[in-house]
């Protein structure tokens, strides 16, 4: 996939909105524009119906019911609602500990820290192994009946580690702790139809699944809904769990994207895997020393490759590649902040190794030609850096 002359290998930062999705959204901007919460006229009813259909599509993606879906502005808000919402309603209860893995997205980590500061809960980070897999032993050791919530992502956004949520769920059930799973990176790359059986809450993001930006969703299991305190107050539009007029076109877009992700995952996954493997193997054949961070190719997000170019600075490489190739150092959300990725540090990399690492993520429209050209461009960028004396000391 190219945008002008730029090869796009940053699908885990964001995906283009699928044209079929965009088409379904368009009527709801200027034509069927009624307020979906206007209960007194046909324009309102039509918008409400479109939103209900969208919620059903999102629910079908994860095997849930449509009234277990709360639309939000994105996965960041969904994560905030899940963690803060549950903690707010459990203040002064006997469960006063929250466990999160060390490699969670900042929207989980920062929210957990805020809960500790503001509401007095104890937040504990769970360690991961070199592949980013949660230490089940640490989880078992820390679990007891004073744990309110455990938050573990299904797929890590930087190194593509896939969590074993079945085992985690079993462990938590024994202690009655709530399981929240950040699934922002999962639609379209793993089959989610059983998800609702293994988690109590799950966060999704429209723009990571070929839907629009500015929309996301939180799945909240029926039995948990009266334990979740809203974080946005107002007209109570979504069963009082989240107030605010729903953005009909964005909800419709998320629903359409969910439907495509659900129905195409089986055919898309092997294609992503083949292209991603071609990239990693191609880079490995170059004369530069490269290494794959995180799990082996067979056991990670099929489109993710986090590659270390020892002796180089990832930001120098990406700068040298502009404007021809888009990929990222660490996660896009922390890019710009001069600190090594907390995910790469948590799997045991040194700061220098973390700063030498680039995340490439292939998508549905990535071609073999994109991959071959990317390998060639990276080879030339590295040569240029060496001859320009910009190589970093190992």
Chain residues that interact with ligand PMP, rule: CB under 6 A? 74-76, 105, 107, 153, 157, 182, 184-185, 205, 216, 331, 333
Do 295 and 132 form a contact (C-beta atoms < 8 A)?
yes
Q: Least distance in Å: CB of 132 to ligand PMP?
A: 12
Task: Decide whether 281 or 299 has the Cβ nearer to ligand PMP.
Answer: 299
Taking alpha carbons only, the member of 368, 369, 155, 364 closest to residue 267 is 364
Pair of tokens at residue 90: 């459990």
Q: Least distance in Å: CB of 326 to ligand PMP?
A: 15
Task: Decide whether 46 or 331 has the Cβ nearer to ligand PMP.
Answer: 331
End-to-end CA distance of the chain: 34
Please, where are the H alpha helices in the chain? 19-25, 27-30, 42-62, 75-89, 106-119, 136-142, 165-175, 195-198, 248-284, 314-321, 342-346, 351-355, 368-387
User: For residues 313 and 300, what is the distance between their CA atoms, to the nearest angstrom?
Assistant: 24
Taking alpha carbons only, the member of 19, 4, 378, 15 closest to residue 189 is 15
Q: Least distance in Å: CB of 368 to ligand PMP?
A: 26
Kind and range of the H or E run holding 126: strand 122-126
Given 181, 183, 251, 333, the catalytic residue: 333
Task: Decide whether 90 or 181 has the Cβ nearer to ligand PMP.
Answer: 181
Task: Decide whether 143 or 314 has the Cβ nearer to ligand PMP.
Answer: 314
Helix, strand, or coil (residue 305): strand
Task: Decide whether 46 or 293 has the Cβ nearer to ligand PMP.
Answer: 293
Q: Least distance in Å: CB of 119 to ligand PMP?
A: 21
Q: Least distance in Å: CB of 135 to ligand PMP?
A: 19
Active site residue 333: yes
The catalytic residues are: 333
């Amino acid at each position: 996939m190219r945008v002008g002359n730029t090869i796009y290998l940053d699908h885990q930062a964001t995906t283009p909105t699928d044209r079929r999705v965009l088409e379904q959204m368009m009527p709801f901007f200027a034509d069927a524009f009624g307020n979906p919460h206007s209960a007194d006229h046909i324009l309102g009813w039509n918008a409400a119906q479109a939103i209900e259909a969208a919620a059903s599509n999102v629910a079908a993606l994860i095997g849930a019911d449509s009234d277990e879906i709360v639309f939000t502005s994105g996965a960041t808000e969904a994560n905030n609602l899940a963690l803060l919402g549950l903690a707010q309603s459990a203040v002064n209860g006997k469960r006063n500990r929250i466990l999160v893995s060390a490699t969670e997205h900042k929207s989980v980590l920062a929210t957990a820290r805020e809960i500790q500061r503001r509401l007095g809960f104890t937040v504990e980070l769970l360690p991961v192994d070199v592949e980013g897999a949660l230490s089940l032993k640490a989880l078992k050791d820390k679990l007891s009946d004073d744990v309110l919530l455990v938050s573990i992502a299904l797929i890590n956004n930087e190194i593509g580690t896939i969590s074993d949520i079945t085992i985690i769920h079993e462990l938590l059930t024994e202690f009655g702790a709530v399981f929240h799973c950040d699934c922002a990176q999962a639609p379209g790359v793993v089959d989610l139809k059983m998800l609702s059986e293994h988690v109590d809450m799950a966060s999704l993001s429209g723009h990571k699944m070929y839907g629009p930006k500015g929309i996301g969703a939180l799945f909240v299991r029926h039995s948990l809904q009266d334990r979740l305190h809203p974080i946005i107050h107002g007209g109570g539009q979504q069963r009082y769990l989240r107030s605010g007029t729903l953005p009909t076109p964005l909800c419709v877009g998320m629903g359409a994207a969910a439907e495509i992700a659900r129905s195409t995952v089986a055919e898309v996954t092997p294609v992503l895997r083949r292209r991603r493997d071609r990239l990693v193997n191609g880079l490995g054949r170059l004369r530069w020393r490269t290494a794959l961070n995180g799990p082996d190719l067979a056991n990670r997000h099929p489109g993710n490759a986090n590659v270390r170019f020892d002796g180089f600075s990832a930001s120098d490489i990406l700068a040298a590649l502009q404007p021809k190739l888009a990929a990222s150092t660490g996660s896009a959300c922390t890019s710009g902040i001069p600190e090594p990725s907390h995910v790469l540090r948590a799997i045991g990399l040194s700061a220098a190794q973390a700063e030498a690492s680039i995340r490439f993520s292939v998508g549905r429209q990535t071609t073999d030609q994109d991959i071959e050209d990317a390998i060639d461009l990276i080879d030339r960028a590295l040569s240029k850096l060496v001859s320009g004396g910009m190589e970093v000391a190992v």
